Chains A and B, each alone.
Chain A
């Protein structure tokens, strides 16, 4: 992401994609890993 600042754009968009307040921390981290893996495989 740091390279984005140098070579392309300094504009970023962010948003919330899931609420995890009812999950314990271990499950939150597992869900985060799951989403990252899913995004990586696409």
Chain B
């Protein structure tokens, strides 16, 4: 992918972190919707990313049955009102017995505090959608005449 980086401002004030962040916020505000930050564009809203027309939005379901049904040994606990957790996130299609797409289960293991648990799931949706958009744009750039249809 062709990536260009510019130093917009180099002055003594940039050494001070607070001043540097202020200048950064100024430039982000000026760029608006056109901003392409690697990690996140704070200007674009959550819904604009998750429900982007180029991708199918990720859908997350809290699974409450035993994982042994999918031949996995992980325990499945109910959320408590306080505390922190280690959690697991599975791609549903990769769990199906006739899975020929990957040939193995695809999952993610992470940890979080309880207060942040559902926010973390929201974050996963956002970043997953964001990366899918980047991937789609990259393919459009590299293979402009190749149309891939979702199976």
- B residues 42-59 near A (Cβ < 8 Å) are 55-59
Interface centre among A3, A9, A21 (most CB of B within 10 A): A9
Q: How many residues of A contact B (CB 8 A)?
A: 29
Q: Would A13 and B135 count as touching, CB distance under 8 A? A: no
- A15 partner, pick from B57, B76, B148, beta carbons under 8 A: B76
Q: Would B84 and A13 count as touching, CB distance under 8 A? A: no
Q: Which residue of B lies closest to A3 (CB)?
A: B135
Q: Which residue of B lies closest to A23 (CB)?
A: B84
Residues from chain A with Cβ under 8 Å of B87 in the complex: 14-17
Q: Can you list 6 pairs linking A and B with CB atoms under 8 Å apart?
A: A6-B135, A7-B148, A11-B93, A14-B87, A20-B111, A21-B84
